Structure 1
Amino acid sequence: MGKQAELADFRSRWTGHVPEIQDIRARYAVLVPLVERTEGLSLLYEVRSEQLGRQPGEVCFPGGKMEAGETPVDCALRETWEELAIPPQAVEVVAELDLVTHQGGFVLHPILGVVDPGAPIVPSPAEVKETFTVPVDWLLEHPPAVYTYDLLPQVGEDFPYERIGFPQGYRWRGGKVTVPVYDWPGHPIWGLTGRITRRLLEDMG
């Protein structure tokens, strides 16, 4: 017989624990960059390089996977420096925005920041095809079309329904994903980037 469980074991394991979201395999952070332009306050977006293996050519914010020991702000600023050569000291961090959880098993931390309008923007060709800005006023005046799709559970035939007391099967709960699409000419803004943009501008108009 193995070691008997004791209350002290639970106290040792869980006291001081910082709650996380279960089953999350990775964390990412992006900078949501506001920058002043002649056309007014704007959001800065990237187009991912066609050379990338994942999501080539898609519109996104600068960012990437958090490294061990990094805070979301540290990651967003580091990735912005690596991708666009905007130095961390040229970014005023305003706030950490609402987290985005993804059915793929990761959490995304959006960081709202104001970029010094005089800061250089030099895209790294290996990661960024180009950048563009969209006036905030345009985004407010042109709300996104919003689409949804269902996430349907696909349970294997070997699942032991009888053992758990549901011999006729169980009514598994599915889910829905919301996909906002902003029709910015030449570069539609959609997906997670669209969701972050939409949430950022809620109640701003």
Structure 2
Amino acid sequence: MSQNPLSPRSRRVIVTPVFDPLVQPVLPVQPLRPLRSDSIQLDFIQSAFLRPFPWQVEPLFRLSFEADPLQNQDAIPAAVFFPLVQRPSGLHVLFTRRASHLYDHAGQICFPGGRIEATDSDEIAAALRETREEIGVSPEFIQLIGKQPDYLTSSRFIMKPVVGLIRPGFQLAPDVSEVAEVFEVPLSVLMDPGMHRLHRAQLPDGGERLYFSITWKSYFIWGATAALIRNFYRFLSAAQDQ
């Protein structure tokens, strides 16, 4: 999400979250089976995107994954790159931790990505551009695999996830004005539904918000990013049943 440090947007006051996601109560959820080890291998994931099969998005967030664009025309289109990295121990997923001074989602853990600009031909072009700008990985090192369902966030972004593999030989060059840290989490951890925690937060207006979280080492992944991870689990779980 490139931004000029002198632009009006960069001078806006940072919005303070209305609740602390780390301390909200955890709700019971129906246990789900872990994926087979072969279902989190690159060849299986690639084949899953190539063949149509019936599957359902995460039911707790169905309204966010199936939001009607006509009823949400104020939402901002954004592309995110769901980056897989092949390591000797298996596939990993690359994340960034956003700089604490940013206006949108400061300090949060997320995928590379940002708003789809007028110069972007589509969400794939936007995801590739944002990945280059944020972490310095050029498109020549990225092998596209497929797309996941759009997701309407509570902050009124329509996230369009693009899944791909970052090929060996890439070098990271994070934009320190946007990215505080780049790190990887094993896909086996993220695709273990036992790692997914469901929280309920009470909002100042009397409403409530449900969200998933995944904790790994010192990293707390939550909100829209965790929802996309949970939905990817749903996708692969359905694929292994075919």
Q: Is the 8 A contact 2:153 2:224 kept in 1?
A: no
- Judge conservation of contact 1:47–1:128 (CA < 8 Å) in 2: yes
Larger radius of gyration: 1
Higher helix share: 2
One of 112, 116, 122 as aligned partner of 2:173? 122
* Residue of structure 2 aligned with 1:145, choices 194, 197, 221: 197
- Residue identity matched to 1:193: T
Determine if the alignment matches structure 1 residue 96 to structure 2 residue 128: no
Distance 1:79 1:204, change over 3 A: same
Do residues 197 (structure 1) and 233 (structure 2) align? no
* Match in the other structure for 2:46: none
The answer to whether the aligner puts 1:53 opposite 2:103 as a matched pair is: yes
**Partners in 2 of 1:189 and 1:147 — Cα distance?**
12
CA distance in 1, matches of 2:205, 2:179: 36
Amino acid across the alignment from 1:86: V
Relative to the length of structure 2, the TM-score reads 0.63
1:86 and 2:137 are equivalent in the alignment? yes
CA contact (8 A) 1:24 1:107 kept: no
1:189 partner letter: I
Q: Structure 2 matches for 1:1-205, cutoff 5 A?
A: 20-25=69-74, 26-70=76-120, 71-141=122-192, 142-149=194-201, 177-202=209-234, 204=236
Name which structure has the greater RCO, CA cutoff 8 Å, separation 6+: 2
Structure 2 unaligned spans of 5+: 1-67, 238-242
State the SS of the aligned residue for 2:224.
helix
| TM-score with structure 1 setting the length | 0.73
- Mark the CA change 1:90 to 1:139 in structure 2 (over 3 Å): closer, same or farther: same
Do 2:96 and 2:112's aligned partners in 1 also have CA atoms closer than 8 Å?
A: yes
| Ranges of 4+ aligned residues in structure 1 off by more than 4 Å | 149-154
What amino acid is the match of 1:199?
Answer: N
**Residues 191 and 230, structure 2, Cα contact 8 Å, conserved in 1:** no
Letter in 2 for 1:33: P
What is the number of residues matched between the two proteins?
167
